[in-house]
Chains A and B, each alone.
Chain A
């Protein structure tokens, strides 16, 4: 069949189409040009007023808003605005009262007596009393409750309600993290007692004592909280808190650039480059503080090569931490020298440091019996120095760290392979079975500096955290002592000594502490970066009236 004329016809037909398309595009871009953003003066600090909504995002949906039943961070983030504990950390990571006005520690350091605030009401109007604390304690240690947080509370020997506003706990032995373990959220007894907590409606409609009242949860979409007018520390200035669930970080970033969310944690690349343009800077402030985590290279101390302290020290000398921070984090982090971040009271800088120095590394390795073969490879007893590093899949930073380390080690003749493994099998097949030579992993730095679970030699069982098999008698002793004193100065001395030993032994090469990089819309004022982070003053954040964006006519009364 002859189809030529036909197709010619369609070409001419498609020409006007193209024109129309072009016109549409021009119109569309013209429309957007016309929509100039109101260039408000966000620099004006204004006066604190009540109003506006803050929209944040989360990649995961909260699972369960009774915080002791969940371990995911979105749940805990939302819950932190709804509930209070007896105590909390202030911006400088000191323990201060929250629901407890004050507390006394007995002379024998065994019991703590909490004096509770008398002006606290649950969101449904019922008064908060010591019986709520008692209920929370009992349900936490109840063997039928599937909670991950029973550990600390199982050490309590006796808990007692002395009167409505006094609560006393007694421990078998002095226990350093005791006080802070009472920062866990207190639950309302009158709504939960007698019901199965795992089937409670409060899982999805929580009732707490906190600065925000639960308003709405659209599954898979958003969680909305409203300011609590009767909050005992004063009503939050911001009317509503809205957490959008956006599972994809690229989408989240687009939403931020569209100004449809107000707050987001940025990657180093986004922080340094992708937000570095005038319109973004006009609308957003960027904040930075040291994150509560560090990344390390951990050695299997039962491995025949890494058993030797000198080898581990050599490794630390051979790795250029500065290069990792500059190259991968774009400078947004600091070198780690131990398990704490520099702005914590438990941190000491006076430990052995391992600067990048390949010559020192080689010298140490020679001491350990390695010799350089003619091709530059390090050899001991006819065996090459080679090993495999395990990294979990999906963590780009760690994978690229491994690559930089690989390059540096190959320069001094160590052959290192990288193996990337999916998280579940990483933990179950390799870490739990001690089937690894070295790993790159990260730990969250706890705000309370208890290192027992990670470094004590008794914690080497299956599923326990001393998986590198670190055994040091002195550290064991210090860990126990540090754990069972309530005197902070004394505890600090023990912890300093532990850090010195860890630095000397190098069971890990501590790599870096990343920065948390946050962009927050400029209309929010009163934000104060501190060692604790940003949200410690959340209820004092405000938007001046002339800069308010979202008017809400849906006011809630408790």
Chain B
């Protein structure tokens, strides 16, 4: 097991290097340059000023030199200084936005699993029943409805019309003056819509997985055997079917690790949540290379780790495919 782990970790290095190289080249291929982007078509910006700013960012050097400089820094885990006009360390910018994104993603993932798995089980157990169809339509409606549309409708209804929930942001304007429990309530109120809506969109996937894999298991001969020996349906389902059916779901859990740091731009913009999605979008729009690369490296790393984690967990849960 340990050997296997080491081997996998060892092979991750060249993969990560390849990912960064390709990303670096692709980003630099897009038209537009950092710092200069905001100054495009601005009469106050003379050509000399422009050249000066290019030199400041090191953009006057050839691409491979720029990559080498970047690589030398990144192996020391130094993500560099952002090219955006705030000139802050990339790490600070990411650190500032990571917690809220991870929190919303975790909360909605928990919600998705808590609701999606029972729905999946129910739908498999009572396949083709009316409730199955209603639930299926429900989860697919959540999957199909554009998030921004649903979000705006609910914001309008619950926020403007009923004045029950705040519309956007994370904290009320007087947050600093609130007592601690009030702060919690305030935060929670602000989070209901974003978490709820993002969970609604994710229900379909997990409940379908659950349903599919449970149906698959229910067709197995050992289930027939279990039923034949007279076990109550409850026991058959819980002890024999569900355990095996949950295996693929574990894989999904592992694979959703990189998703934890990703945020949707549209979603975050609408709720004005300062999360990773917006950071990434803004840095792409302003060609803020160090920030883009920083987020990509973290994302790539988490993806690879997530894959590994999924494999390892799968092996732990299912002795049949244990390796090494």
Question: Residues on A close to B: CB < 8 A?
Answer: 1, 3-4, 6-7, 10-11, 28-29, 31-32, 35, 53, 55, 61, 63-64, 69-72, 75, 143-144, 146-152, 154, 198-199, 203-204, 216, 218-222, 242, 244-248, 250-251, 254-255, 257-258, 260, 423-425, 427-429, 431, 441, 446, 453-454, 461, 463-465, 550, 553-554
Cα distance A29–B96 in the bound complex, in angstroms? 38
User: A247 to chain B: which residues have CB within 8 Å?
Assistant: 268-269, 272, 278
Are B167 and A465 closer than 8 Å at their CB atoms?
Answer: no
| 7 CB-based A-B contacts, threshold 8 Å | A3-B128, A148-B44, A204-B86, A220-B273, A258-B159, A427-B40, A463-B50
Which one of B6-14, B168-176, B197-205 contacts A? B168-176
B residues with CB within 8 A of A = 30-32, 35, 37-50, 52-53, 56, 84-87, 96-97, 126-132, 152, 155-156, 159-164, 166-171, 173-174, 176-177, 268-275, 278, 287
Select the residue from A53, A149, A216, A424 with max chain B CB neighbours within 10 A: A424
Return chain B residues, CB-CB under 8 Å to A146: 35, 52-53, 56
Which 3 A-B pairs have CB atoms at the shortest separation, nearest pair first? A220-B274, A424-B32, A63-B85
Given the interface pairs A250-B152, A465-B41, the reply to whether A150 lies near B49 with Cβ below 8 Å is yes
Alpha-carbon distance between A423 and B127 when the two chains are bound, in angstroms: 51
B-side contacts of A216, CB under 8 Å: 176
A143 and B36 CA atoms in complex are apart in Å by 16
Known: A53-B173, A151-B49. A221 touches B274 (CB 8 A): yes
C-alpha gap A461/B32 in the complex (Å):
17
7 more CB-based (< 8 A) A-B contacts, given A10-B129, A251-B168, A424-B31: A35-B163, A71-B39, A72-B38, A72-B85, A146-B53, A148-B39, A260-B167
Residues in B with CB closer than 8 Å to A71 are 38-39, 42, 45, 85
Q: A residues within 8 A CB of B128? A: 3
Find the A residue at minimum CB distance from B135: A10
Closest to B268 in A: A247
Chain B residue at minimal CB-CB distance from A462:
B47
Please measure, in the bound complex, the distance between the C-alpha atom of A427 and the C-alpha atom of B36, giving whole angstroms.
11
| B169:A221 contact, CB within 8 angstroms | yes
Q: Are A149 and B173 in contact (CB under 8 A)?
A: no
Closest to A255 in B: B167
Which residues of B are found within 8 Å of A10, using beta-carbon distances? 129-131
Distance between Cα atoms of A10 and B122 in the complex (Å): 12
Give the CA-CA distance A448 to B170 in the complex, in Å. Answer: 41
Q: Verify A28–B274 contact, CB threshold 8 A.
A: no
Determine which of A219, A222, A461 lies in contact with B47 in the assembled complex, contact meaning CB atoms within 8 Å: A461
A contact residues around B159 at 8 Å (CB)? 254, 258
Tell me how far the C-beta of B237 lies from the nearest C-beta in chain A, rounded to whole angstroms. Answer: 13
Given contacts A71-B39, A463-B47, whether A428 and B270 have CB atoms under 8 Å apart is no
Q: In the complex, which residues of chain B have a beta carbon less than 8 angstroms from the beta carbon of A147?
A: 49
Contacts of A245 in B (CB 8 A): 272, 274
Contact check, A246 vs B169: say whether CB atoms are below 8 A apart.
yes
Most-contacted residue by chain A among B50, B127, B167, B171 (CB, 10 A): B167
- Residues of A within 8 Å of B129, CB to CB, are 3-4, 6-7, 10
B287 partner residues in chain A, CB cutoff 8 A: 424
Measured CB to CB, the nearest residue on chain B to A29 is B162
> Are the CB atoms of B43 and A465 closer together than 8 Å?
yes
B41/A63 in contact, CB under 8 A: no
Decide: A427 and B52 in contact? CB cutoff 8 A: no
Q: How many angstroms from the CA of A198 to the CA of B85 in the assembled complex?
A: 9
Most chain-A Cβ atoms within 10 A of its Cβ — which of B38, B43, B131, B177?
A: B43
Q: In the complex, which of the residues B86, B96, B176, B271 contacts A251, with contact meaning CB atoms closer than 8 Å?
A: B271
Complex-state Cα separation, A155 to B126, whole angstroms = 82
Assembled-state Cα–Cα distance A374/B169 (Å): 62
Whole-angstrom CA separation of A554 from B177 in the bound complex: 8
Q: A146-B35, A244-B272, A250-B270 are in contact. Are A28 and B164 (CB under 8 A)?
A: yes
Q: Which A residues are in CB contact (< 8 Å) with B84?
A: 63
Q: Which residues of B are found within 8 Å of A255, using beta-carbon distances?
A: 167-168
List the B side residues contacting A254 at CB < 8 Å: 152, 155-156, 159-160, 167-168
Could you tell me the distance between the alpha carbons of A550 and B159 in the complex, rounded to whole angstroms?
20
- Give A530 to B270 CA distance when docked, in angstroms: 33
Question: Which chain A residues lie closer than 8 Å to B44 at the CB level?
Answer: 148-149, 151-152
Distance in angstroms from A519 CB to nearest chain B CB is 15
CB distance from A82 to the nearest CB of B (A): 16
**Docked CA distance A281–B174 (Å):** 26
Give CA–CA (A146, B43) in the complex, Å: 16
A425 to B38, CA, bound (A): 14
Between A255, A461, A464, the greatest number of chain B beta carbons within 10 A of the residue's beta carbon is seen for A255
Asked if A553 and B177 sit within 8 Å, CB to CB, the answer is yes
Whether B130 contacts A251 by the Cβ 8 Å rule is: no
Q: Which residues of the partner chain A approach B166 to less than 8 Å between Cβ atoms?
A: 260
The interface centre, meaning the residue of A6, A7, A75, A148 with most chain B CB atoms within 10 A of its CB, is A148
For the complex, give the distance between the alpha carbons of A106 and B275 in Å: 55
The answer on a CB contact under 8 Å between A251 and B155 is: yes
Name the distance in Å between A153's Cβ and chain B's nearest Cβ.
Answer: 11
In the complex, what residues of A have CB within 8 A of residue B53's CB? 146, 148
Set of chain A residues within 8 Å of B48, measured between Cβ atoms: 150, 154
- Chain A nearest CB, measured from B131 CB (Å): 4
Residues of A contacting B274 with CB < 8 Å? 61, 219-221, 245
Residue contact A28 to B45, C-beta cutoff 8 Å? no
Q: Find the B residue at minimum CB distance from A442.
A: B41
CA distance A250 to B87 in the complex (A): 30
B47→A244 contact, CB < 8 A: no
A246 → chain B closest CB, angstroms: 4
For A463, the chain B residues whose CB sits under 8 A away are 47, 50
A85 to chain B, nearest CB (A): 15
Distance of A283 from chain B, by nearest CB (Å): 13
A242 touching B85, Cβ below 8 Å: no
* CB neighbours of B42 from chain A (8 A): 71, 148
Please tell me if the beta carbons of A75 and B49 are within 8 angstroms of each other in the complex. no
With A260-B167, A465-B41, A550-B173 as contacts: A70 and B85 at CB distance below 8 Å: yes
Q: In the complex, what distance in Å separates the CA atom of A72 from the CA atom of B286?
A: 11
Q: Are A221 and B40 in contact (CB-based, < 8 A)? A: no
User: For residue B160, which residues in chain A have a CB less than 8 angstroms away from its CB?
Assistant: 254, 257-258
Query: Least Cβ distance of A325 to chain B in Å?
Result: 24
Residue of A nearest to B166 (CB): A260
Contact of B272 among A11, A246, A453, A553 (CB under 8 A): A246
* Known contacts A64-B86, A248-B270, A151 near B162 by CB under 8 Å: no
Note all chain A residues with C-beta closer than 8 A to B271.
251
Residue in A29, A53, A64, A428 whose beta carbon sits within 8 Å of that of B32 in the complex: A428
